[in-house]
Amino acid sequence: MALVRYGAGIIQMSGSIAGDVHAHNRFGNYIRPRTKPVNPHSVRQEQVRAQLSFLAEYWHGNLSIAQRAAWEVYAAAVAMKNRLGATIHLTGYNHFMRTNGSHMRWSGVVLPNAPVNLSLPEKDDALACSEEDIAAQKFNFTCDNTGWGPGVDDKLLIMLYQGLPQLASRNQFAGPWRYMGIINATEGAAGTAQRDATFPFGLGQKVWFQARLMTDQGRLTTTWQLPPRTIVADP
């Protein structure tokens, strides 16, 4: 891996060029050789591919012109960030796939109509892993219990992802992640939920989590990372 300091008008680079991957972390920019990822054709992987293929056909064959136009209006109003931190706008198709890829994962149901509120929802900064059970391989989560359904565009769910457990001395983590399930509206209103671990964990390890929040209209936050949990002995 080579460290890089750009000049001559180039401020930042991200992506692959001629076999090299340009990226950055908190220490600066770097270049590493590009490697071809392994395609394991896992059950989870094939399920996601099938869902995305179904949604692509649904966009073209099932939505009306007015519905597709509404997704374009939503996309034009919602600013996103790319890998370089620049502000961009996705297409209506991108947002339809983004929302429904997440919604179908837990419900199997398509949300055909674009959100009426033209913004991304707020993240739940109070969400955290509060406790673990090593013997049962479960985690307890607490969250902000306000703003949950059944009102219009209230919180619908929070999707949870667990990272592969690491040494307790590690301070950064960027994956791999595995889907754990959702915190539904009933659990959210109670402010607590318990979920099975998707990676086995043990005493002395550190575990990171990611989350995404969705509203009734299908507005979906970007993914955010929760504070890591260091596994201690069961009480």
Q: What is the pLDDT of residue 2?
A: 60
The pLDDT tens digits of the residues spanning 106-115 come to 888 999 999 9
104 in Cβ contact with 112 (< 8 Å)? no
Which range among 8-12, 90-94, 138-142, 166-170 shows the weakest confidence by mean pLDDT?
8-12
Beta carbons within 8 Å of 132's beta carbon, 6+ residues apart: 138, 139, 140, 201, 207, 229, 231
Lookup: tokens for 131: 């406790």
Q: Which fold has domain 128-230?
A: Immunoglobulin-like (2.60.40)
Domain residue limits, the chain: 2-33, 43-107, 128-230
Average pLDDT of the residues in 100-126: 93
In the predicted model, what is the mean pLDDT of the chain?
Answer: 88
The pLDDT tens digits of the residues spanning 181-204 come to 999 999 999 999 999 999 999 999
Residue type for position 213: L
- pLDDT of residue 17 exceeding 80: no
